[in-house]
């Protein structure tokens, strides 16, 4: 397996606290890889380091064969590593379609060569509509982004990340703040993203993780204690002892 993303000996400290503790992780091209772990295990700290918002103290991050440890976030996005909500802010007063069109335009660059548009307006909106379809918002094109339901807004954030044409998408708790019904309605969308690109998913909702992930890594105290298929993780004695307990019954 040639990993698309590889973390080698990653360390991040907050004062005396080691939030990421010599962590190794490999995400294969095309897989949906979930990271789970108890509160405070270091999931958010890890995602920040991968997306470029937080520098590791030690170790390296290799993406598509390139060491990106020192690259800023925008460079990582350019290489195809996108995180949903950090890429572009939603303009709440603009419509869904306009938000997506602006994100597509941003990928093409706001050209200073004003005599030649970087992309034609119709191509821009065609791509924005296709993105809206992909994220299940094609019936909300004209709605102001600020009026969307919580789940719809999370999907718009995903759409903005997809507008960068990523090779890999970092999805940080896409179900956060949702009820069980809304969560379930998002599952097919997340599943379809997983069929198109590599996804690294951090999610508390175990039903989502165990249904959607190809492989799961379990993070405890800043270390990966196990990586495997949902079946392997479900039956891993160390994982059950350290974290899952009876939450996921066999």
Ligand X SMILES: Nc1ncnc2c1ncn2[C@@H]1O[C@H](COP(=O)(O)OP(=O)(O)OP(=O)(O)O)[C@@H](O)[C@H]1O
Residues lying near ligand X in the complex (CB under 6 A) are found at: 14, 17, 19, 37, 39-45
For 85-97, the DSSP string reads HHHS---TTSBHH
Task: Write the DSSP symbol of residue 241.
Answer: I
Q: Which is nearer to ligand X, 37 or 166 (CB)?
A: 37
Q: Which is nearer to ligand X, 129 or 204 (CB)?
A: 204
For residues 49 and 53, give the distance between their C-alpha atoms in angstroms, rounded to a whole number.
6
Q: Which is nearer to ligand X, 140 or 154 (CB)?
A: 154
**CB of 169 vs ligand X, minimal distance in Å:** 18
**CB of 3 vs ligand X, minimal distance in Å:** 22
Q: Which is nearer to ligand X, 9 or 188 (CB)?
A: 9
Structure-token pair, residue 162: 């997809």
**CB of 161 vs ligand X, minimal distance in Å:** 19
Q: Which of 129, 111, 12 is nearest to 61 (CA)?
A: 12
Q: Are 12 and 20 in contact (CB under 8 A)?
A: yes
**CB of 172 vs ligand X, minimal distance in Å:** 9
For residues 25 and 109, give the distance between their C-alpha atoms in angstroms, rounded to a whole number.
33
User: If residue 138 lies in a helix (H) or strand (E), which one and from where to where?
Assistant: none
């Amino acid at each position: 397996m040639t990993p698309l993303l590889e973390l080698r000996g990653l360390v991040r400290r907050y004062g005396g606290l080691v939030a990421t503790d010599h962590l190794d992780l490999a995400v294969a091209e095309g897989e949906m890889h979930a990271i789970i772990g108890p509160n405070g295990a270091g999931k958010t700290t890890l995602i920040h380091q991968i997306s470029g918002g937080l520098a590791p103290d030690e170790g390296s991050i290799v993406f598509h064969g390139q060491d990106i440890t020192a690259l800023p976030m925008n460079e990582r996005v350019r290489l195809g590593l996108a995180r949903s909500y950090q890429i572009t802010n939603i303009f709440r007063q603009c419509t869904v379609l306009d938000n997506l069109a602006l994100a597509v335009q941003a990928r093409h660059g706001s050209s200073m060569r004003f005599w030649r548009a970087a992309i034609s307006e119709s191509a821009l909106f065609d791509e924005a509509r296709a993105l809206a379809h992909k994220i299940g918002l094609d019936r909300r094109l004209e709605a102001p982004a600020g009026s969307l339901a919580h789940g719809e807004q999370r999907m718009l954030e995903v759409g903005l990340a997809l507008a960068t044409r990523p090779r890999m998408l970092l999805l940080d708790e896409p179900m956060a703040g949702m009820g069980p019904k809304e969560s379930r309605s998002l599952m097919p969308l997340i599943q379809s993203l997983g069929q198109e690109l590599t996804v690294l998913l951090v999610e508390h909702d175990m039903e989502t993780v165990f249904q959607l992930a190809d492989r799961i890594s379990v993070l405890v105290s800043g270390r990966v204690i196990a990586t495997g298929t949902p079946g392997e993780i479900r039956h891993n004695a160390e994982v059950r002892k350290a974290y899952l307990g009876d939450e996921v019954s066999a």
